[in-house]
Amino acid sequence: MSFFDKIKAGLQKTKQSTGEAFNAVFAAFREVDEDLLAELEDALIMADIGAYTASEAIDELRKQSKRKNLQTKEEVIDCLARILADKMAPNDGLHLDTKPSVILVVGVNGVGKTTSIGKLGAKLAAEGKRVLFAAGDTFRAAAADQLAIWAKRAGVDIVRHTEGADPSAVIFDALTAAKARNVDVVICDTAGRLHNKENLMKELEKMHRVIARELPDASVETLLVLDATTGQNAVSQAEGFNSVTKLTGLILTKLDGTAKGGIAIHISSSMAIPVKFIGVGEKTDDLLEFDACEFTRAFFDDISGEEAGEGEET
């Protein structure tokens, strides 16, 4: 299955939810007028793209429609997809320019941090990088055991302490081991931290200080894992974590399980943080590098094709 097909499949629930609204908008399409633009804006909001982002996108569509003289619904859909893609922060991949580099993975409980680390570690290992996991979630029972299973599956090493140990001590030992073992990338798991718990956020700050002290020149990515099924709650989580850890990217999981796939567009555009990976399934290779153009094209793909077919029959 191609990258585009995987995104289409992952967005299936979103398209089932919003497809009726978009199809209704274009069913009686004649021209780009204010009624059409208002209905499109409502449909975007239904997809959890967000009222502000939807309004800005429609304003831009209004301008481009006049400038380019858009005539068909296919042209409108294509233009809107490109507008939404351009509003998102560009994903230029992971910056892993030093040896070792560090990826700190954060997020609240239950969003899929450990699974995302496992899939990311497997991906990097398959690219020929030597990867080390740091089991920094010392609070959740069996968290290190779960990460160890992923480490074995991905063929990478792991540094872990006993349950209840100081997470920053785990990070310190992992960085020390990474330097000794010629590791390329250290991926650090963390406990599920609620964005409104100040003491837990201070622990994340402590981890950053350890990394800065032990590897002052290292490339460091701080990735927030968000559960797409939580919709607008994901926005407040992103805002809370970004205020403390200065996120470099997002991993959006469970996209295949939500009807609100537009949340990826909303968060990235409103916070200027790139979505770097999306999860669209349970398999190891279902963690996909995010491409905004492919994503927004897949978002509207079935609508464009279905409507074009109906138009030829009338």
The CATH number fitting domain 101-290, selected from 3.90.220.20, 3.40.50.300, 3.40.50.170, 3.10.450.50: 3.40.50.300
Residues of the chain with CATH 1.20.120.140: 3-90+294-313
Confidence of residue 21 (pLDDT cuts 50, 70, 90): confident
pLDDT of residue 5: 75
Region 226-236 average pLDDT? 86
Out of 13-17, 158-162, 235-239, 290-294, the most confident range is: 158-162
Q: How far is CA 172 from CA 84, 124, 133, 298, in A?
A: 41, 22, 12, 42
The pLDDT of residue 312 is 37
- Tell me what pLDDT residue 308 has: 37
Contact 106, 270 (CB under 8 A): no
H or E element at residue 60: helix 51-68
Q: Tell me which of 56 and 195 has the higher pLDDT.
A: 56
- In the chain the first and final C-alpha atoms are separated, in Å, by 34
Choice between 141 and 45, residue whose per-residue pLDDT is larger? 45
Q: What is the pLDDT of residue 194?
A: 64
CB distance 121 to 131 below 8 Å: yes
pLDDT at res. 267: 92
User: According to the model, what pLDDT value does residue 110 have?
Assistant: 85
Answer left, alpha or beta for residue 151, where phi above 0 means left and psi between -120 and 50 means alpha.
alpha
Beta bridge partners of 287: 279
Q: pLDDT class for 309, splitting at 50, 70, 90?
A: very low
Mention the CATH class of domain 3-90+294-313: mainly alpha
Q: Where does the pLDDT of residue 15 fall: very low under 50, low under 70, confident under 90, or very high at 90 and above? A: low
What is the per-residue pLDDT across 93-145, written as a single tens digit (0 to 9) for each?
Answer: 999 999 999 999 999 888 989 999 999 999 999 999 999 999 999 988 788 99
Q: Which pTM value belongs to this model?
A: 0.88
Q: Is the pLDDT of residue 2 over 60?
A: yes
User: What's the one-letter identity of residue 227?
Assistant: D
- Tell me the percentage of the chain whose pLDDT exceeds 90: 57
Return the pLDDT at 152.
95
Token readout for 212 is 């800065």
Contact at 8 Å (CB) between 5 and 285? no
Question: Sorting pLDDT into bands at 50, 70 and 90, what band is 16?
Answer: low
Sequence-ordered strand ranges (E) for 8-61: none
Is the pLDDT score of 311 beyond 60? Answer: no
Buried b (16+ CB within 10 A) or exposed e, 205-228: eebbebbeebbeebbbbbbbbbbb
pLDDT band at 304 (very low <50, low <70, confident <90, very high): very low
pLDDT > 70: what percent of the chain?
Answer: 89
Q: What mean pLDDT comes out for the span 183-197?
A: 83
CATH 3.40.50.300 domain residues, the chain: 101-290
Please state, rounded to an integer, the average pLDDT across all residues of the chain: 87
The mean pLDDT value for 179-200 works out to 84
